[in-house]
Homo-oligomer: A and B are copies of this chain.
Amino acid sequence: MVITISRETGSGGHTIGKLLAEKLGYAFYDKEIVASAAKEMGIDEKLILENGENMSDQDYIDRKSGLIPHYKQPDVPYEEIKEAQDKVIRSIADKGNCIIVGRGADYILRGRSDVLNVFIHADMEHRVRRVQRHEGVTGQEERIQRELEQKDRSRTMYYRYFTEREWGKVENYTLALDAGVFTKTQCAELIVKAVEMRVIIE
C-alpha cells in the first residue's frame, strides 16, 4: 500500500505522515529523502529540493506560452527535474508499503490500485499559529499568511503545469481531512482506519 499525502503549507501534513509511518510501520519519504534517492541515481539533489514541487507564476506563464525571455536562459530545467523525480517516486512505490509527502505523487502514481491519496488542509488561523510555534515567534500574522499563500500558490502552479489538474480539488483524493478540526493524532488514526479498509478489500 502506498499513501500519498498532499498538504496545504503549515497544515501539519508532514507531521501526520510521520505519525502514520510509525503507526503502520511503513517507510516514510519526504522532500529530503526523495532528493537523496535522486542523488543516488545521479541527479543533482539541490534541483529537486528547490524545484521539485514549486513553480512561480512567471515561470508558469513563460513556459506555457513557450516565450521564455532570453535573459532567463539557461532556465530551471523543470522537465528534467520532473522526469528524475517521477522515476524516483515510481521506484519508491514499487518497493511496497510507504508514505510519500508532496511531490505531486498522487498524479505520478495515478491508475495504480494500491494507492490511497490523502489531502490535509486547515484554516489559515491554525496554519499561522503552527508557523508561529515552529519559528518561535509571536505576532507577524500578516507576513506569515502572505508566505503561506505564496507557497500554496507555487505548489498550485507546479501541479497545474505538469498535471493540468487543479491542486487540492476534492475529486483527486481518496480521503481529505481538516487538520484544524482534528488533531494530528486523530488524522493519523482516521487514515490508519481507511488503510485497513483498503487492505481488506485487496
Binding site for B on A (CB under 8 A): 116, 119, 121, 123, 168-171, 173-178, 181-182, 186, 189-190, 193-194, 197-198
Q: Contact at A178–B181, with CB atoms within 8 Å? A: no
Closest 4 CB pairs of A and B: A176-B176, A170-B170, A174-B178, A186-B197
Q: Measured between alpha carbons, how far is A30 from B63 in the docked complex, in Å?
A: 48
12 contacts between A and B (CB under 8 A): A119-B176, A168-B169, A169-B169, A170-B176, A173-B176, A174-B178, A175-B178, A176-B176, A189-B193, A190-B190, A190-B193, A193-B193
Q: Contact at B174–A175, with CB atoms within 8 Å? A: no
Q: Measured between alpha carbons, how far is A182 from B197 in the docked complex, in Å?
A: 8
- CB contacts (< 8 Å) of A121 on chain B: these are 170-171
- CB contacts (< 8 Å) of A168 on chain B: these are 169-171
Known contacts A168-B170, A170-B119; decide if A194 and B198 are in contact (CB<8 Å).
Answer: no
Q: Contact at A181–B193, with CB atoms within 8 Å? A: no
